[in-house]
Structure 1
């Protein structure tokens, strides 16, 4: 399996023929692999570089400074996560990484924060305003890319163009910074355990180090080798459910960095409004192919996956 390359500029091209050819390639990638590289996103190299710089600066802070915005003290799961906090592979080792999560920054008295306090509310931000500015700018631009991609997916599935995008008015999309430091021992090489993402789609910016691997249909791990300025996109469990398993959510993992090597990556987890009812889309069911899943609220699904991944959230 080779991971295909999709051109966002072609997905949004003025020429219907060029647009449709690329949409067909996108549809094939979503059905057969669930992973693809996305190029010509419109996100500048300068912004990507700035994000990398700010991540290195943030994760180099003293531990007590990072713990001042500890994710465990935040009911809506925002802020800093220490090494070993997350275990994506439920039967393996804890992940060897530290993280920072942010999403829409809503005041604590916002109606949605009051109704769904574990999913909405204020961010816990780094103390450096420049870091916050870069994070917010990247969040806005990555969200624009996601909306264009979801529009193309809707077209590929023979749905109304805004079938997915209209579900993102008060979305719970999360931008994460990840630092994979070198492991202090070589008892295993887990950076992030084998897992599928539980949201809609994920847009990943990774550095040049590499380490991301995707499981192909032969149960073999294939390297997702970094391509400069490209995002790696994968289908999440929620989209697979939405499309009645037509679009596939594929397992992936991250191998731990080599000695003295630090890796940084930036997944953008695209997740719709909490109250979005996720039921089988019309074009993915037929008399001989009924819906496999009961309808579920997007937020309820994502909440259940959070709670299974983070030990500290049990009982919340």
Structure 2
């Protein structure tokens, strides 16, 4: 069981006003910024195929994974120890592989040097990896669009308010692998250290291992255990900023206390780099910015290769 609410997104497909979904999203976002969703549209077959391909890749030798090491476009494999959350004493005990909107080198934004833009990279083996992740990227984008329709309705604006901000989204999907963690690393070693997410909204699939914990405003750190058929959703710092603090970006962390490795697939479903973000849109006060300016600053704080580049 979990203290976090579970919201079925299906009514958003069935009614213009989304039924009770917007009110449920509003309550969850104002209370703690985390909830589970069902009715998200990801099939069990897609989940199984993507999970199998990801584990096949991560369990291969480092020398093989290094062939698709992270590029300057923020795509590819990130090695163990390459990510340290701001303020953390130790790097995260994880590897991850990231894909984004696949843009060729002659795309105008890529050619102009817009950060975080460019082509994806994929391993040659396993051969199932690329088709699985490309299918996941498309399906989770559809889920993200549906979810944001509910968020817009919860903020009492047009249900498609966010859609024009997503012409070329900064969507980033990460398969995150937590190897078995040696006990001698101690209690202060996290798979992902306590942090808040950078962007607007996150959709997370997690396997059956557990380990995700959320800082509840009243109850301290609480477990957000896996629940079959669900995704975990949380607001990021950009959502909190855009809504003038009304919707919470809540600290969370992950520990792999399981006897085996752990896998999750997180999608940071964020607007286009140049998308304007103005709290006045929702009747709030605060400094306006763009999605890219905000997100890039946070990424540069947390990833080793970005620090070297900047």
Instruction: Find the aligned partners of 1:191 and 1:107 in 2 and give their Cα distance.
Output: 33
- Give the drift of 1:219: 6.1
Contact kept? 2:88, 2:193, Cα under 8 Å: no
Aligned equivalents of 1:209, 1:183: Cα separation in 2:
13
Residue 12 of structure 1 aligns to a residue whose secondary structure is: helix
Q: Which residue is 2:262 aligned to?
A: 263
Inter-CA distance 221–250: structure 2 relative to 1 (3 Å threshold): same
Counterpart for residue 13 of structure 1: 14
- Residue 288 of structure 1 aligns with which residue? none
Are 1:115 and 2:112 matched, yes or no?
yes
Q: Secondary structure at the match of 1:68?
A: helix
Q: CA deviation at 1:15?
A: 7.4
For residue 115 of structure 1, report the CA deviation from its aligned partner. Answer: 2.3
2:92: which partner in 1?
95
Q: Confirm or deny: 8 A CA contact 2:242 2:282 kept in the other structure.
A: no
- Unaligned 5+ segments in structure 2 are none
Deviates more, 1:124-133 or 1:104-113: 124-133
In the TM superposition, what whole-angstrom CA distance separates every residue of 1:111-152 from its partner, at most 9, and x where no partner exists?
Answer: 011224431111111213321000000110000010011111
Match of 2:298 in 1: 305
Other-structure match for 2:274: 275
Among candidates 156, 176, 187, match of residue 158 of structure 1: 156
Q: How does 1:2-151 map to 2 (within 5 A)?
A: 2-14=3-15, 16=17, 19-71=18-70, 74-128=71-125, 129-151=127-149
- Whether the 8 Å CA contact 1:257–1:263 is kept in 2: the answer is no
Q: Partners in 1 of 2:306 and 2:206 — Cα distance?
A: 28
Cα offset for 1:27? 1.0
- Calculate the TM-score normalised by the size of structure 1: 0.93
Return the alpha-carbon distance in structure 2 between the equivalents of residues 165 and 245 of structure 1: 22
TM-score (normalizing by structure 2): 0.94
1:166 deviates by: 1.4
How far does residue 89 in structure 1 lie from its aligned partner after superposition?
4.5
303-312 or 136-145: bigger deviation: 303-312
CA distance in 2, matches of 1:309, 1:217: 25
- Residue 236 of structure 2 corresponds to 236
Q: How many residues align?
A: 305
Aligned counterpart, 1:200: 200
What is the rounded CA distance, in whole Å, between the counterparts of 2:77 and 2:134 in structure 1?
16
Backbone CA RMSD of aligned residues: 1.5
Partner of 1:177: 175
What is the distance in 1 between the residues matched to 2:83 and 2:219?
24
Question: Runs of 5+ in structure 1 lacking a partner?
Answer: 286-290
1:6 touches 1:22 (CA, 8 Å); kept in 2?
A: yes
Query: How far apart in 1 are the matches of 2:95 and 2:34?
Result: 24
Q: CA deviation at 1:282?
A: 3.2
CA distance in 1, matches of 2:226, 2:215: 16
List 4+ stretches of structure 1 deviating above 4 A. Answer: none
Residues 149-184 of structure 1, C-alpha deviation per residue, up to 9 Å, x if partnerless?
111111111112221121111111001001101123
Residues in 2 aligned to 1:240 and 1:163: alpha-carbon distance in whole angstroms: 17
Say whether the 8 Å CA contact 1:95–1:193 is kept in structure 2. yes
Counterpart-to-counterpart distance in 2, 1:246 and 1:98: 33
Contact 1:37 1:231 in 2 (8 A): yes
